[in-house]
Amino acid sequence: MNPALDAETGLADAPPGHKEELRLWLRLLTCTTLIESEVRRRLRARFGTTLPRFDFLAALDRAPEGLTPGEVSRRMMVSSGNVTGLAARLEDEGLIERRAHHSDGRAQILRLTPRGRREFARQSAAHEAWIAELLADVAPRERAELFRLLGRAKQSVRARLTEEKP
Amino acid sequence: MNPALDAETGLADAPPGHKEELRLWLRLLTCTTLIESEVRRRLRARFGTTLPRFDFLAALDRAPEGLTPGEVSRRMMVSSGNVTGLAARLEDEGLIERRAHHSDGRAQILRLTPRGRREFARQSAAHEAWIAELLADVAPRERAELFRLLGRAKQSVRARLTEEKP
DNA sequence: GGCATGTAGTTTAGGCTTGAAGCATCTTCC
DNA sequence: GGAAGATGCTTCAAGCCTAAACTACATGCC
């Protein structure tokens, strides 16, 4: 796969149709960055934790029977090496625990400890309220439309990704 | 199981409207992450560079007179300590150069070198094409609407941020 | 069984990122 | 002029993140 490199785009003053997609992408990125860094700030200030840790607990919270590190890696969309490090820290803090997999000798099962579950419940409630607060000025109808259009974008991107690794 | 947790999503109870904002946020984050990690992958594969470096060059490319590190920090929305490190690496690679500020003894001016400008032009053309490619399935009308709604979201978030630090 | 191939996790080197502490310089206000 | 505070930048410690190399186990095929 080779995205048709537009010959005319080489110079700064070239105004091809592409510019619009670029502006859309930059705005998407700005929105995400603004929300994400505010959430990081608050997680740190209120709970002394970080977004990756929060996301990790969230993944486990949704799977009461536990998850393998590989599954956590896929759900969080991060590398498996990253999961190894995060899991070690969370285990040290007593928020998660490891068990051997019942049938696969290579795998493990990670689960929230009772304390991890309690901690996450507190954090999660606050987190949900923060998001609602930050997006309060987007009317319900606009939110629904935004959600739909983002779904479209997601689909568009995913189609291009799977295309090139068959 | 914690009775305060919703059985389906594992998320804590909250006033009814909140779930929707959360789903919107998660989708926004997924979209951004998908595009961003694909762009990182391609920048690495094709140009042996990284997204922060690319963004840094982009900021300087838009300012022919050069920028102070502080200005770069604001435009990239990253900490000033971060800019220090990136600038050092880019200077080592000969892509940017530093000059003393004409009037402020504390400040500097960072500018692209000719080589930096050439490098960025190459990368930028490819980057723009990638974004257009990834978003190709979003129709022009949908793109415009998405852009507008994201503007609304951005505005909503920003209003909440400035609110609390007067 | 036994080899080839694939998959699950870990390790490692290197880069990115932040918040906080620190230094130098600038600005303001007396 | 000079003190007090603000601003620009760097340094530092700690954590996040990835790709690539590696180990250990599993599975398929003969």
Q: Which two tokens stand for residue B140?
A: 């022009």
C-alpha to C-alpha distance for A128 and B60, rounded to whole angstroms: 38
Out of B87-101, B131-145, B150-164, least confident range = B150-164
How many Å lie between the alpha carbon of A32 and the closest alpha carbon of chain B?
6
Q: Would you place residue A165 in the very low, low, confident or very high pLDDT band (cuts 50, 70, 90)? A: very low
Chain B CB contacts of A45 below 8 Å: none
- DSSP class of B93: T
Residue of A nearest to B9 (CA): A62
pLDDT tens sequence across A87-126: 999 999 999 999 998 888 899 999 999 999 999 999 999 9
C-alpha to C-alpha distance for B118 and B106, rounded to whole angstroms: 30
Q: Would you state the pLDDT for residue A147?
A: 96
Show residues, CB within 7 A, near nucleic chain D: A 50-53, 77-82, 85-86, 89, 103-106; B 37, 40-41, 44, 68-71, 73, 80-81, 83-85, 87-88, 101, 104, 106-108
DSSP string, chain A: ------GGGGSTT---THHHHHHHHHHHHHHHHHHHHHHHHHHHHHHS--HHHHHHHHHHHT-TT-B-HHHHHHHHT--HHHHHHHHHHHHHTTSEEEEE-SS-TT-EEEEE-HHHHHHHHHHHHHHHHHHHHHTTTS-HHHHHHHHHHHHHHHHHHHHHHHHT--
Q: Hunting for tokens 């200077």 — which residue is that?
A: B91
Q: Would you state the pLDDT for residue B140?
A: 94
CB atoms within 10 A of CB A123: 20
Interface test mutation site (partner B, options A47, A54, A117, A160, max chain B beta carbons within 10 A): A160
Q: Would you state the pLDDT for residue B18?
A: 67
Out of A11-25, B25-39, B101-115, B144-158, least confident range = A11-25
**Averaged pLDDT score across all residues of chain B:** 87
The answer on pLDDT for B80 being more than 90 is yes
The burial of A103, by beta-carbon neighbours within 10 Å (0-12 exposed, 13-18 middle, 19 or more buried), is given as exposed
Q: Which two tokens stand for residue A74?
A: 């896929």
Q: Which two tokens stand for residue B141?
A: 């009308």
Coil, helix or strand at residue B110: strand
The stretch B127-151 carries a mean pLDDT of: 95
Asked if residues A35 and A28 have their Cβ atoms less than 8 Å apart, the reply is no
**pLDDT above 90 as % of chain B:** 80
**Structural domains of chain B, with CATH:** 44-125 (1.10.10.10)
Chain A CB contacts of B159 below 8 Å: 137
Out of B12-26, B64-78, B133-147, least confident range = B12-26
Q: How many CA atoms lie within 13 A of B106 on its CB side?
A: 2
- Closest to B127 measured CA to CA, from A123, A9, A40: A9
Question: Which segments of chain B does DSSP mark as H helices, in order?
Answer: 18-47, 51-61, 69-76, 80-92, 114-134, 140-163
Of the candidates B5, B27, B154, the beta carbon closest to that of A154 is on B27
Asked if residues A111 and A96 have their Cβ atoms less than 8 Å apart, the reply is yes
The stretch B92-99 carries a mean pLDDT of: 94
